[in-house]
Structure formats: structure tokens, C-alpha cells
Structure 1
């Protein structure tokens, strides 16, 4: 069952400035990477602290359960645990990772609507007692292997968010299926304690939260009409990004909660499953330029990470790429390219895949082999989705921890 709401301690760490971040990366290149020139990540712990504070200020009534799949970096997860968040896990391996940090099982929601039986048995064994379902088949597995588990019925909601990734084709009970699923749970005896939904990843229309919370309210009412015990958990899923869009999303959530779930009694719990909101901005990726040519007036570069690695997300979305060039720190030239003329440039990843193109038509100054390209906001679905194609091992890219102690 869900534990108490998140309590965050006052931390000293603050986010690095852009100049401090670049200085830190230069120190890594000089002290750790000078010979190998391999790609590496920097994780700014201060950014995590800031994001948790932002969430708490704007959605104090909603406890975040970080979606581990977004980025399972151990140092990142450890910091999130220290700050008191819960965790959304989709598999036994993810649960094991979170428990290894000392997190209590009641701070985990097993948020996968179709789970292998062996994973359900494991959850029962170690006391992860909250999970999602959207089918009678899943109810039967849970009844057999984890009958004491509390359930959240995941519902399919109107797809009005404009999200890049919608989930309704795979996840969520259809409106016409909800009553029969609740009746099946009632007959099988697993206890349905709440409703979950997800408006989609990278949402842009946050009025979708009102549509979704309205649908959740309808489901709560249907359960009451069937005589089920009063449900007391609302899981509003993910779809959050950091920055101004989060303020807009938080406002929409609060308005919808006040409209559909006002004056709920003590013990009513609202949780969410944000991934990108917490994971994206704390990570910065440094890549080294390993090749260069000029073709048809276009300056073309090769770097040592790409589409098969950390940049898999670029198959779907180039809008948020922020790239900073950095000169080879061990050379005699200045490390800054500020104020220099820029050119139409193309950047390839290192593999033999002809589609391994990272950037096209991107403005960059004249660069050389062994210079660096720094990619910002590289924490969400980057290293977690990369593979080791052609022997370029995404799994081996190291992460260096940075923290500013300015007050």
C-alpha cells in the first residue's frame, strides 16, 4: 500500500550554472578522459533537488512515484530515494533495483498492467502490494499468485493531450469494460483501491487532465454503485515535463481535482508516475568528434555516440536538442567558440547504420577531430533505451556526479 506523502529535507545543493557545468566537464576531460576521449554523462545533483522542490511547491497534494524505466541510473535513483519519492516499477528487475537502495516496498507501485507470473510471485514474496490491471486475465493471475495485492484499475482516457506518445492502443480498460472488470474483481476478491491513467508522454494540451480525472471520477462512482469498498487512491500517471509547461500542467491538475475530487476524507491519496520531469534536465552528455569531412558545402562530423546509443529518442523528436561545442581541452586553442561564424552542419553517430544521423542542418562553428559536442537535457529515455550495436557500448558510458554547494 502507498506510504506517507513525500517529505523533502532542505538540501544545500543547487544547480550548476551553464559555465560551471562546462568547467566541470572540461575537468573530467582533462583528468579522466584525456587519453580515451570516450563519451560520458554528467549528473547534476542540484538539478534533482530543484526539481523535487518545484514539484512539492506546485503539486503538494500529489506524491510522485518516479518511473524507473525513464532512466535507471543508480546515482540518480539513490538521490531520488534520499529525497523521499516513491517509485513506479514495471518488472522484477526494477523492483530489485529500488529495494537495493533501502526503499520500503510500500513506496513502490508495480505499474504494469500485464506482468509475468514469476514477477507477480516475487512482488508477493517481498511485499510490493499495489499494482495496476486492465483485463480479466491479469485479475486471474493476481488472484492466484498475489491475492492480498491492492489493485488500481487503469482506464483508457480520451486522447486529447496532443502527446507524442499515446498509450491507449495498449493500456487501459475501455469505458464499456470498466463495470465488468470491477465486477470480476469483486467476484475474485482482489481489492480494487483506486484508478490510474496516463495522458501520454510529452503532452502539450493539459486540459486532458480534466478529461482524464473526470473519467476517473466516473469509475469511482461505478465502483460505489456496485457496492465495492470505497476506493481511495487516484494515480494521475505521467506526461509531465519540467519548465513552464509543468506550471501549466500542475494548474490544470489542481483545477480538475478541485472540480471532481473536492473535500476527500483523510486517507485519500493522489499519486503520479513522472519520469521525464525528473530525469531529463539533470543529465548532460559529452561526445567526442571522431571524424570530419565537407560535402556539397556542408560540414559533416562523426561523434562517438548516436542513434543506436543515447540518442535513440531522435528517431522521433529533434525539437529539444541543445548542443554546445567545446574545443579539445588539451590543445592550445581556446575552448570557447562564442562569437565565431557558424555553418550548416550534419552530425553522424559512430555506427555503420546509415540512419545513424544525430543532427542535420544544425548551426555549428568550424570544428576539428577531438573537439567535443555537449548535449544538454539528456536524461529521459536516453541511456535506458540505447544498445551496444556495432560494439559501441551505451551501457559502458560512465556518469560523473556534480554538485554546487552555493547557498
Structure 2
């Protein structure tokens, strides 16, 4: 597949032993880096794609773009062959701009603006979800040829973001009327979708939801929708570095075999954090500190240190404010020092850079004593962070520094539209970010000169354009 990726985005091809931590150290060791940044491991995305295909070969992943719309991540998944769950005109524009065919996109927002429906029709994205009479009337007016997917509600007992409070019709009391109305309007319903909740912590809910979907399939056929052929099992899959989808995949595979053994029904899912979370590691610098003493409930004075870092809850840690969207591990945000510390961890708190008193990343934690200029690392930061971050109070949005192991790159290089002129062998990454120069041929066609070699692990840089 040819992808036309217009904006430049560098990838460092790593040789030898490395990790996101070692890359982060390289960037900050020069002492010039001050802004927060992400290290994105493209290989983590690739590995998760292959794990998914191995464990759930029948379920096609359609990446939920809202989770993280970083163009490199989207382009990587497109090159691997995933489909995409888009929720807006802008997301459809992003995905189609890199050459993804509209047949690989589902407009999975049950409450769409009319202008977005009309854009979807022009873009050729025909498959879309609905869960209400109002949406059916809107689609009838603006896109009567749409291939409709009825979204039903089936909530997990426990999820970080229970989406059923906003979307999804009741499969027993509401679905029959909606299916009949669609038939009366001459609209074609081709399938059923559900979303058990983002970051669900219950695997059995997929069995219940697939069982409900089977009943709706049968009902749809009875009221005139004879071409039911798509089941969308939504998202909710874990994405932390050490998470595992083996258990949930067994539940899904078993339910599909029981209720949808007919292979004529296409099965897709909408994983978001599964692909995005662990691929991104955030690095933040301690720029200030303050020692404070407070009395506890028994009146005993307790002291701890307040550490101020260069990114906060209005940036990459916005999930702290909106913890129903939390993208972190079950234990919450975890800060790690990027260099070993011999001192014993002490009570402390971690604060963002803004002047808002709500800008607290970790109100109570333990870290060894830190100095101004020390850096902290936060793993599993790729989901629902970068895409929501803002430059509140004038503080910069963290940039992404992408890396990929040479063995993975050798597989992917032919899938990305890159030539030899996009590569240069040089020194390891160092800050500041603004010091990077484009790694592109000169206007005359003569390659730009390469930097000298280093004794550190070799990093080969390319520009995705």
C-alpha cells in the first residue's frame, strides 16, 4: 500500500542493546534538553499487532484514532494492515491522507454532526454506527446509502471509562424499534457493534455482549435486514507494558465460535490503548522543589518535598483531572528516576508547571531526593494523553522522539514510502529538540553530509514524509 505521509517525522533506527530509558538518557545527557518529550518505540506497536493477530486471528483490529492520533502511529498501523475507527471528519481526513482506503474505516460515532456525515459520504466512508431514531433520520437525509451498524449497550462491571452511559441502545427494549424504523426508511443495517467500556477489567462481558449481538442479528433478519454481515466488538483491551490479552482473547474466540460460527460474518474490534499506551514513554524534568511541613490528623508534624516538573495535568497528565479516561496502569501514575539513586525514597508530591493549584500529578508518592535538573520517566503514556494535551499557561506540548529496532525496521521499510535519501547515520539523540535539522536531500539532489560516528550505540535517522 502506498501512503502519502506529508509531514516530516523522524525515526531513529537503533542497533545494539537499547531501551526507551537508554534513549531518554541519551537525549538529556547533553544538558540542553529542557522541555518534556516522549520516546515512542515503533517496535512495540508492531509486536502488539502480531500478538493480536496470533491470539485473535478472526478479529480484525480497527485502531481507535481518538486514543492517539500521532501520525507516525497511525501510519505504522496502516502499513501493518489495520483498519481504523474514526469518530469525526478530522479523523477521517487524517487516515485517508496517508492512503488508507475508505473501506478500511468505520465512522464509529453514534451521534454525528450532519456536516461530518456529508463529508463521510464524499470520502466514500459508508460504514457508520447509530443508536437512536434522530440519527437514523439524519442519515436518511444526508447519506441514505450508508451501511449501518446498530450500537447496543453492554457494560462491563468495572471499566475505567464506562461508555454505556452515553452510547448504545438497549438490545432488548430499544433495538427492535430502531431496526424496524431503519427498514421503513429504506436504510440498510448490516451489523451490530458494542463497546464494553474503555480499559475494562472484566473479560466475561464480551461473552454477554456477543450473545446479545447474536439475538439482534436474528431480529434484524426478521424485520427485513437480510444482509447482516458485520460484528464490531469495540475496545476495552489493556495496553500497559506488562498487560496481557490472552485471557480476553480466549473468551472472545469461544463466544464467536458459539454464536457466530458462520465465517460469512466479518468480525472487527476497536482497540486503542492496546496499541498506543506502552509504545510511548514520557520524560519530564524537575525544575523546582519546595520543602513543606504539615500536621497530620493526630497533630504530628510531617514533612515532604514538593517537586515541580515541566509537564502537568493540563499536558500529558490530563487524565489525572479526568480519571474516568485514565490511561495509566491500575496503580495510577508511576514516576521513576532515569538514573540510579542510592538514597532511600522519601515522602513527596509531584506538581505540574502551571500556576493552577489543581496541577498536581502525584499528591502522595515516594521518590529518592531529587535535584533541579533531574529527570523522571513515566511508562505507558501513549493512550489518551498526547491527543488531549494543551499548552495551558504557555508550557509546550511534549514532542515525540520515535525509535525502532533495526530488525523491525528491515521488515517495515518497504511498507513506508521512504528512499535511501531519507537516512543518515550519526550521533545519538541529544537535546534540545529545536537543534534537530531535517534529514533530507539538499535541493540539488546531493545528500546532506552525515555526522561523525560515535562510540555509543549507532542511531540511524530517517524522515517520514
Residues 1:359 and 1:178: Cα distance change in structure 2 (over 3 Å) = same
| Aligned partner (choices 59, 67, 83) of residue 70 of structure 1 | 67
Equivalent in the alignment of 2:158: 162
TM-score, normalised with respect to structure 2: 0.78
Number of aligned pairs? 378
C-alpha distance after superposition, 1:306-359 (max 9, x if no partner): 111101112325724232213xxxxxxxx432x432111110011111111111
CA contact (8 A) 1:39 1:305 kept: yes
Residue 23 of structure 2 is aligned to residue 24 of structure 1? yes
CA contact (8 A) 1:161 1:206 kept: no
Q: Distance in 2 between matches of 1:400 and 1:114?
A: 35
Q: Distance in 1 between matches of 2:169 and 2:407?
A: 49
Residues 1:245 and 1:163: Cα distance change in structure 2 (over 3 Å) = farther
| Aligned partner (choices 303, 307, 328) of residue 301 of structure 1 | 307
TM-score, normalised with respect to structure 1: 0.89
Q: Which has the higher contact order (CA 8 A, sep 6+)?
A: 2
Residue 348 of structure 2 is aligned to residue 336 of structure 1? no
Residue 272 of structure 2 is aligned to residue 279 of structure 1? no
Q: Distance in 2 between matches of 1:346 and 1:69?
A: 30
Q: What SS is found at the alignment partner of 2:198?
A: coil
Per the TM alignment, residue 198 of structure 1 is displaced from its structure 2 partner at its CA by: 0.3
Q: For 1:92-111, what aligned pairs fall within 5 Å after superposition?
A: 92-111=89-108
| Aligned partner (choices 352, 356, 359) of residue 359 of structure 2 | 356
Per the TM alignment, residue 107 of structure 1 is displaced from its structure 2 partner at its CA by: 0.6
Per the TM alignment, residue 244 of structure 1 is displaced from its structure 2 partner at its CA by: 4.4
Gaps of 5+ in 1: 1-12, 327-334
Q: Kindly name which structure, 1 or 2, has the bigger radius of gyration based on alpha carbons.
A: 2
Equivalent in the alignment of 2:422: none
Per the TM alignment, residue 164 of structure 1 is displaced from its structure 2 partner at its CA by: 1.8
Residue 96 of structure 2 is aligned to residue 88 of structure 1? no
Q: What SS is found at the alignment partner of 1:121?
A: helix
Q: Distance in 1 between matches of 2:197 and 2:210?
A: 14
Gaps of 5+ in 2: 1-12, 294-302, 409-465
Q: Distance in 2 between matches of 1:152 and 1:240?
A: 21
Residue 335 of structure 2 is aligned to residue 323 of structure 1? yes
C-alpha distance after superposition, 1:38-87 (max 9, x if no partner): 00111101101111011011111000110000000111111111111111
Equivalent in the alignment of 2:447: none
Equivalent in the alignment of 1:368: 371
Residue 259 of structure 2 is aligned to residue 256 of structure 1? no
Equivalent in the alignment of 2:403: 402
Equivalent in the alignment of 1:313: 319
What root-mean-square deviation, in Å, do the aligned CA atoms of Structure 1 and Structure 2 show? 1.9
Q: Distance in 2 between matches of 1:302 and 1:166?
A: 32
